[in-house]
Each structure stands twice: as C-alpha cells, then as structure tokens.
A and B are shown apart, each in its own frame.
Chain A
Amino acid sequence: MLRPLDALRDTRREWMINRSRLIAALLGISLLLTALVYRYYSLQITQHEDFLTQSDRNRIRVEVIPPTRGQIVDRKGRLLAANKPTFVIGVVRERSANSEALILALTERLSLTDRELEAFRERSERRRPFESVPIKLGLDDTALASVAVDLHAMPGVVVDAQLTRDYPYGEALSHVLGYVGRVSADDLDELDPERYRGTLHIGKVGVEKRYEPLLHGKPGFHHIETNAHGRVLRVLEKQAPEPGKNLRLYLDLDLQREAVAALGDQRGAIVALDPATGGVLAMVSNPSYDANLFVEGISYSDYAQLRGSLDTPLLNRAVQGQYPPGSTIKPLIGLGALERDFVTPDTAIPDPGWYRLPGDDRRYRDWTLRVRGTGHAETVDLHMAIAESCDTYFYDLAHRMGIDTMAEALQPYGLGQRTGIDTTGEQDGILPNSQWKRTALGEPWYPGETISAGIGQGYMLATPLQLAQAAMMLANKGESFVPSVVHRVGDLTVGGVQRPPREIDEDDWKAVVAGMVDVVHSPRGTAASIAKGIGYQMAGKTGTSQVVSIAQDAIYDEDAISERNRNHGLFIAFAPVEKPRIVVAVIAENGGGSGAASPVARRVIDAWLGEAGDV
C-alpha cells in the first residue's frame, strides 16, 4: 500500500512550502476582508444618511385625499348644488379566480355597453392586479340597490363611493349656478396642481367657476407605506382635507321657480334684485339647459345640439344678452335733463306724433302715429312723456342735450360697463357717445343718431342685469350696490357691497317716479293692463326695441315680419314705491312689444311681495 515514492519524499521541505504559502494566503485573505469591511463601512456609516433617505422614499408615498366641494343653498337654506354619492363598481382581478367569467357575469347583471367594456379594458392595462378597476361608473343609490344584492357573493367585485355634483333643480338654475365638469388639461395649466391632486371636478361656468377657489377647499393627505409593487400596506400619517366653503345665495328658490313659470316658453330673461343689498333674488334666462349633463362630461350629440340651437340655450341672457334698452331708459334721461336744467317738470312741448330735426326732412315717428295716427296730446310734459312713453318729447330732449351730455347722464347708472356681478361671462353693453363711435367705428357721430339714442335705440345696448341695476338705483334714490348672487361664503358675508351713491334731488326723483307710477297705475299708462287687482304701488317703465330698422315712413306690421325679427319687449319696475323691496327687469325676446314683458314682471313682484323671506 505504501508507494515507493512516499518514503523518499522530503516531508520537511513540503511542509516548509505549505507554510510559506499559508502565510501568503493569510495575507491575501486579510487584505480582501479589510477591503470588504471598508466597503460595508462606507455604505453603512459614511453614506448612511443618503441610503436611509433612499429607503424611505422607496416605501413612503403621499396619497392625496381630495376635499369635499362646498354646497350651494338658497336664502332659505335649500340645496341648489349638492354633493351626491354615486357608486362605482370595480373589479380587483387578483381577488377573483376567473376574472373573464366574472366580467361576463357583470356585463349581464349591469347590462354594460360595449363602450363601457372597452373603457374597462383600457383602464385594466394601466392598473396593477390588486387595484380596483372601475367597470361601471355613476350609479346612484337606487340603481346600486337593484344590483348590489348578489354582488357581495362575487369575489373580486368592489363598490366604491364617490361624490359628484348634483343640481336637483336642473334647468331652473343652470344659468345662475353654472356647473362643474371634469378637470381638463387646459384647467390644469392654470391651477395649482398640488391643490387639485385627486380632484375630478372643477367649476366651469357661473358661480361654480367664480367661487371655485373657495368652493374647492384644501386637500388632505395620507402618508402611506407601500411595497415594491405599490401595494398599500398601512397609513403612517394622515391629515384630513379641509372641505370647501358652502355658499348661501340671495336667491329664493320659490321666486326663481315662479319667474321661470312666468316666462314660460318665451325666450328672454328676468333679473330680480333686492334693492337693499343688490342681491339677486331671481335670475332667469330662457331657454336653459340641464347643468347635470355637464358634470360627468356631456355627450357629443347633446353638446352639438345645445351649441347649434338657434335659441342659444347656453347663453345666459341675463348677463350676456345685449339688447337695445328702448324706452326703459327714458326715466334716466329725464332725470339727467332735470338735473342739467334742460327741462323742468312743467316744460311741455308740442307733439304732432313725429319729430323733425331743424333743416332735415326726415321724420322721426312716435309709436302713437302707427296706433292712433297722431301724437299723445297737444303738448306733452315729462310726466306724460314717461307714463305714456312719448317718443317726440325725448327726441326733442335728446337733440337739445346732445349725445355726449346724454351719455354723461346715463353713465352713472352703470350702462355701458360691467356691473361686476359674481358670475361669469358678463358683457359690457354699449353706451355710445361721439368719442365711442370714432374709436369703435372710425366714423363721426351724426345728429340723427342722437335722436334714436334718446329712445334707447341705435348703438345703445344693455344687458337685463344692467337695466335691473339702473332700476335699483332709481328705487334707492341713487344708492347703489354691486349686484351679487352670493350672500355668504361660509360665515363671511360677501354680498351687499355698496358703491358711492349717486346724489339724486328729491324733487327731480319724485317727478320722474310719479311718471313711472302712472306707467302702471294710470289708465293711459303703457303698462296699464297689468294694474288690474294690484295691491301695492309699482313704478315701472316699458320698452320696445327694434330688431330691424324700419324704413322711412314704412308702417311697422308685426305679422308681416318673421318671428325672429319682431321687436323685443322690455319692462323695468320696482315696488312698493314708498319702500321698494324688489326690482325687476324683464326682456321678452321678439315678444313683439312690452306687453310680453310687463305681465311677467307683475307676476314675479306679486310672488315676492306676497310672501317675502327676510335675509
């Protein structure tokens, strides 16, 4: 067994060799182990802070909790814009044994459309298996109740609740409130993205848009710990969101509904203000639309229909519609003339039924010429000129005042400039003077244009709100407020902002308002027809504004021209005269004449004075 060589080998030498190599190996190992220790030292001690931060960033994620949007209530606290819980049915693929079969079952149970299924598949690709993917959106609680019974028996199905905006009164308030819609890419450009993380809706139009920053609130957050796959493990820290502020409006729901009913099918607008505050008691624009359509994104066909309609339902006529004010501005012109001593209450001028500028052949006709073939009376004073809406009187007055003085007299009542109401889209209107025409049209002012301007025709345009505001100043003897839809934001009063008052002489005021009272209450008044059974004193002024200009000497025939070319009917009023509690401006688009507008105003004022709430 012993090999011959073994006996001969030099065991001592071999041992020496091994020993020296062992020492070399020991050195090598020591060196490498030292390097290793150094490496761990540098990772764990020198760079410890960096890696600690890195590991926290790995696991901790901030998740935003969107705030609850503020609600909107009327002056009596009735909900006009609410947050309605809607339910989303989602599928967690990981939790169901056979997700395809589950989706098939859900398709049948929820009668899902192909579009919904496609959207679901698209969403699924972007989510992880343990995340819930919505398959059916926007179920209300009754719809949910009908399907929820057997849902709990299907593993992998989850029901999430979320809040969406709901406008319970739909069309009646769409123009006042506006609406919210899905946050769009354009919105995101203008927003603070931190405040809108997790928020789906944003005010797009109207009060909803104007008060967006206050309605929105402030988001809260979770600090959540996640694993490498993004699965939420636990909540480390939580800060509750700050809900948006609730808005309380001046608006009275009952009055609003009465106003909607009073206008009926008539295209037009109503603005009712509280003269004590400038608060909007009612604001109607007809036709309207259902704001709820916009919340979850309006369908293309619905939108095309609204956009394309000749009746422009999306236009808020109360603040965006610009109409020639017609004779409704006569009381203001009269007041300006009294103040500037162009007339006294006793000044009377002859009224043949027409007016002619000195040295000009053109006859400017009074409306009575068509009806009676003559003027109002032999001579007409201011009282009669207002009560019976005498054009000849104001043609003469306009000519004597001149356009610039007239514009100067009307300007303090807010014509030609935005009122500053707290909604969106308000238009300026036009209060023309010679300067305006040169700038806007590049033409000089012609004397004949002054005559038209004297009865609120020609270039002059005003919104119903501007007319209501002017009427409010008349009612208040010059005291003025910025018209406001919103009374309070949370506990803070934002409405009732007073402007520097316009000083109106008591006698001048009495002279003009006496004429306005007789518009309604005198049998010869232009709105005498609405005086029947009236239980209070109303001051009003009718107006008729031409949509097309009538050729010289042509007799205007209502039936002969198409409906859309018929005159607009206007009416402004306040009541009761001695202590006004409501101011109303009505426009009946193509109503033919003021007779289409004045009964509407009477009905609104009746409703308010019959049963007025207190702010």
Chain B
Amino acid sequence: MSEYTRFLEGSDRDFSRAQTPAERLHLDVVLLTPVLAIAAMGLFVLFSASDGDWNTLNRQIRNFVVGFGVLLVVAQVRLDTLERWAPALYLAALLLLLMIPFFGVGAKGAQRWLSLGVIRFQPSEIMKIAMPLVVAAWIVRHGLPPRLGVTVVALLMIALPAAAIAVQPDLGTAILVAASGVFVVFMAGVSWWQILSGALAALACIWPAWLYLLRDYQKQRILTLFDPEADRLGAGWNIIQSKTAIGSGGWSGKGWLQGTQSHLDFLPESQTDFIIAVLAEEWGLRGVLALLVLYGLVVARGLWISFTAQTSYGRLLASAITLTFCVYVIVNMGMVAGVLPVVGVPLPFVSFGGTSIVTLLLGFGILTAISTEKRILSR
C-alpha cells in the first residue's frame, strides 16, 4: 500500500471488523498499560516520599488526569496536521522563550516561567514537543537521508532554543530539548562520519562552554560528581545522601514508608528529582529493577511503533519521543546514583509535578496517534 492512499476519502475507516473502544479512541493499549503501571507505582512512592500527605497525592492524581486528558485529545489529531502546524508551534515557542528574559517570572534564581494571568507555564516545555515535530517536518520535507545543508539548518533549529533554555538557566530541559531534536537528525540517517565530526565538534565546545557558558553552580555540580566528599554539607550533600539512601536499601529495601533517609529529611528533593532514591531505599534493588522493566516495556513499544510506522514523519517522531523518554530515565537515575551531574530532570511519571507529566503524556499522545494511524491503515 502506498502512502497516498491514506488521503483517500474514508480510508481511515475499517469496516472489516468492529473497533474496540481503545481503537476508537486511537489509544495504544500495549503502550499505555505499562505507563499506567508506572504511574500507579509512582503514586505509592510519592505517598511515602511526602510522608503520607494525601494532599500531595491528590494533586499528583490530578496531574495524571489532566495529562491523560491531553493525551486523549492529542491522540485524535492526525499526523499531517501536526506536521503542518509544527513550524508555527516551534516559532511560537521560540518567541515565548526569547520573551522570558524580559517578562519572565523567577523561581530559585532561574527564570523559566511566563505568566498569563491565571496560568503560569514554561515555554521550554512547549519546545520539548515542538522540537521533534519541527525538525522531523523539516527533514522529511527534503527527503531522507538529509543533505548536509538540511542537517546544518536542523542543528541550528535545535541549538537556538536549547541555548535559550540553557541560559535561563535550566540545563536539564536544555539537554532534553536538544536531545529530542538530535534524535530526529540521527534517525533520519545522517551519515556516521557526520555524526562523528559533530560529536568531535561538541567535545571541542566543552572547554569554551566550561569557561564562558556554565555558571559556577553548574560547574560545582559537575565537580561534585567526581568528589562529593569535598563538600560534605554543601554541594556534596545531595549526592551523598541519595547514594546512602539507595545503598542502604539493599536488595529488598527497608519497606514502604520505612525509609529513614527520606522520612528523616536527609534526602533532599525526595518528592521530585530524587524520588528514585526513595524507591531504592524502601523497595530495594527489586523495586528499581521492576521500574526499569516497566520503562523498558514502554521504550520497546515506542520503538516498535516507530519500526512499524507507515510514514517517515511518523517513524522519526515516534523514535525521537521514545528516545527522549529514555534520556529522562537515564539522566535522572544516573544523577541520583551519582554518575551524572545533577541537572533538573524528573523521573518520568514518578516525580511529583504537573508540567513534566503533562508534557510527557502529550508526547505519548502523539506516539499513540502514530501507532493507531498505522494500524488503521494496515488493515
């Protein structure tokens, strides 16, 4: 079946058999089941991390309800619609990002928020979605594999917002935004020697970036990674306490609600970025592996959706979203375990916070849209 058939009138209808409710709603059950399992597990961990605070739990459940609502809406959107609107979304997000230094609202010494009266939001989160959409659209428009010029433009499209986010400063989000764009370029089939030279160029940028771009506290976080004991009660505190929490959990953990590191306030940010330490302390390595298996199922399904997607746009988008999801998991778990610098990346579907949940589920809405569109066509 060639690609143009999906534009034929009525081709998105399958009359051969009755549709399940999930299919009618464009939901990929295989993808969403492990997501729901992670969410459920995450609620238990969060309940413990918040010292049994029902209010926190209710707010997190509300975040999921909103997130799944967004997912449900996005799942109904057709891919070509997304492709068409991607440049507009990207430009809007970029404009908002550039407005932040002038109209932004600060929190903890960083300006990340824009306030529209009742709603405060982070333009960088919109960029997380807009980035893969627009880069994929740009590359697909010029055919795969991209020519060098196309690649360079794509990289510039990535670098501009990533830099704007990095200087807010929000290194975690900048990495995620950049990653989501770079993965598209990678999946599009940029030749390996181009990837290699790009990587070398990036390495070459480390030295000037260290000198001129990174702020002192960011350098401190990276140095702390190598020697947390150098400043036990200062910069090293988070890492020492989170490693202690993880390590003291052992294989089977101290038991749900029994973690001393988190309940006695030794563990900082235990409800948000460092929540994996709570899980590791209370549920042990068993719990960590269980969570990783669930994440693995999500990633496998995401890659499978990419593998079986009917259009290049769908494939690029699906793999970029899935791989970015991987980056969330690996960066978060790596930084809490003290092997990566501490950057603000939440643990997907477990860390407390509406923004990341809604953004992630929005991405999964696109993923499930890709998945169901393909399936409807294939029948």
Contacts and interface: CB of A to CB of B under 8 A. Distances in A.
Interface of A: 1-3, 5-7, 9, 11, 13-15, 17-22, 25-26, 29, 32-33, 35-37, 39-41, 43-45, 47-48, 50-52, 54-56, 58-59, 225-229, 233
A233 B244 contact: no
A14 B144 contact: yes
A55 B143 contact: no
Main secondary structure of the interface of A (DSSP, over half): helix
Contact of B186 (A25, A26, A32, A59): A25
Given A22-B303, A43-B246, A44-B250, 12 more contacts: A11-B2, A18-B187, A21-B186, A22-B319, A43-B247, A44-B285, A51-B246, A56-B260, A58-B261, A227-B264, A228-B266, A233-B264
Interface of B: 2-4, 7, 141, 143-145, 183, 186-189, 241, 243-251, 260-261, 263-266, 280, 284-285, 288-289, 292, 296, 299, 303, 306-307, 312, 315-316, 319, 323, 326, 330, 333-334, 337, 339
A25 B187 contact: yes
A40 B285 contact: yes
A17 B319 CA distance: 13
Contacts of A51: 243-244, 246-248
Nearest to B142: A5
A9 B319 contact: no
A41 B285 contact: yes
Contacts of B303: 22, 25-26
Contacts of A48: 247-251
Contacts of A54: 244, 247-248
B289 A59 contact: no
Contacts of B316: 18
15 contacts: A2-B7, A11-B2, A11-B312, A14-B144, A21-B186, A22-B303, A25-B186, A29-B323, A44-B246, A45-B251, A51-B248, A58-B261, A227-B263, A227-B265, A228-B264
A54 B232 CA distance: 13
Q: Which of A7, A40, A225 has the most CB of B within 10 A?
A: A40
A25 B319 contact: yes
Main secondary structure of the interface of B (DSSP, over half): helix
A55 B243 contact: no
Contacts of B266: 55, 58-59, 227-228
B260 A5 contact: no
B285 A39 contact: no
A6 to B, nearest CB: 7
Contacts of B330: 32-33, 36
A443 B141 CA distance: 122
A33 B319 contact: no
Contact of A21 (B2, B187, B260, B296): B187
B188 A17 contact: yes
Nearest to A233: B264
Contact of A18 (B249, B261, B319, B326): B319
A7 B4 contact: yes
Contacts of B186: 21, 25
B264 A33 contact: no
Nearest to A225: B264
Nearest to A32: B330
Given A44-B288, A229-B265, A39 B339 contact: yes
Contact of A33 (B187, B280, B292): B292
A36 B333 contact: yes
Contact of B247 (A26, A29, A33, A52): A52
Contacts of A26: 303
Contacts of B243: 43, 51
Q: Which of A11, A21, A37 has the most CB of B within 10 A?
A: A21
A44 B323 contact: no
A44 B251 contact: yes
A39 B334 contact: yes
Contacts of A22: 187, 303, 306-307, 319
Nearest to B250: A48
Contacts of B250: 44-45, 48, 52
A2 B83 CA distance: 13
A37 B292 CA distance: 9
Contacts of A44: 246-247, 249-251, 280, 284-285, 288
Nearest to B187: A21
B189 A17 contact: yes
Contacts of A228: 264-266
Q: Which of A11, A15, A18, A48 has the most CB of B within 10 A?
A: A18
A228 B232 CA distance: 13
Nearest to B316: A18
A37 B287 CA distance: 12
Given A40-B288, A51-B248, A55-B260, A14 B312 contact: yes
A58 B296 CA distance: 34
A13 B144 contact: yes
Nearest to A48: B250
Given A33-B292, A43-B246, A44-B285, A6 B260 contact: no
> Which 10 A-B pairs give the minimum distances between C-beta atoms?
A51-B247, A17-B189, A55-B248, A227-B264, A228-B265, A44-B285, A14-B144, A48-B250, A228-B266, A43-B247
